[in-house]
Amino acid sequence: MNKDYLVDISEELGFTSDTLYLMNISKRSVEEMSFKIVETSLSFLHHQGASSFGKIITMFDGYNDIKDEVYEIKEVRKWVKGLFQRYPYFLYFINYSLDSHITLLSCVSDIAAVYTGGETLSPKEYETLGINPLIDIEPKQWTIILSEDLYLQMKKALIDYGQHMNDFIGAAETIKMINAVTTNKVGSKK
């Protein structure tokens, strides 16, 4: 494995085919509705062409002391909606390995959740108890209900971006992923 397997994209280190980039979105960016990190990152990734497909993992920093899931935090939902308004093709860049795509889609959708196991704790509480929530906790199951309007907007933007980047496969894979993890609500205008 490349030693630069996951690097902070704000550092814009050299691009290699094995590199995944972490886009760490700060609480301050969310509160201020700032998309500077996204603009800078996308400028960098646009220059990489089709090899930028699936290269980003997103994280929201500054919410480790609350129990809510990211998609339950009102200001994060608002920020992600703003992200997709500006960049409806953004999911093209998301790597599926750590569920960033599910987190982002959950923030712009209606959610039907099925909770299993015990009460959700905050990341700090899990750390204090020595529990790794990625391994030791049974994952929640939920249905992501994406509005038809947003789905169609994303689909069109992804097709256009795929044509622009000459990467029809990456765009098609992203659309296929959206279809696989969401349920479209016909007639929804959210």
Question: Which amino acid type is present at position 53?
Answer: F
4 with 19: CB under 8 angstroms?
yes
| Mean pLDDT computed over every residue of the chain | 85
Q: pLDDT tens for residues 90-122? A: 999 999 988 899 999 999 999 886 556 667 777
109 with 147: CB under 8 angstroms?
yes
- Give the pair of three-digit tokens for residue 118: 């015990």
pTM above 0.75, yes or no: yes
Sheet holding 110-114, edge to edge: 110-114, 141-147, 182-185
Q: pLDDT tens for residues 122-177? A: 778 878 888 887 677 776 667 899 999 999 999 999 999 999 999 999 999 999 99
User: What pLDDT is attached to residue 13?
Assistant: 52
Phi, psi angles (nearest 5°) of residue 80: -65, -40
Q: Which of 119, 29, 132 is nearest to 82 (CA)?
A: 29
Q: pLDDT tens for residues 1-15? A: 333 444 556 555 555
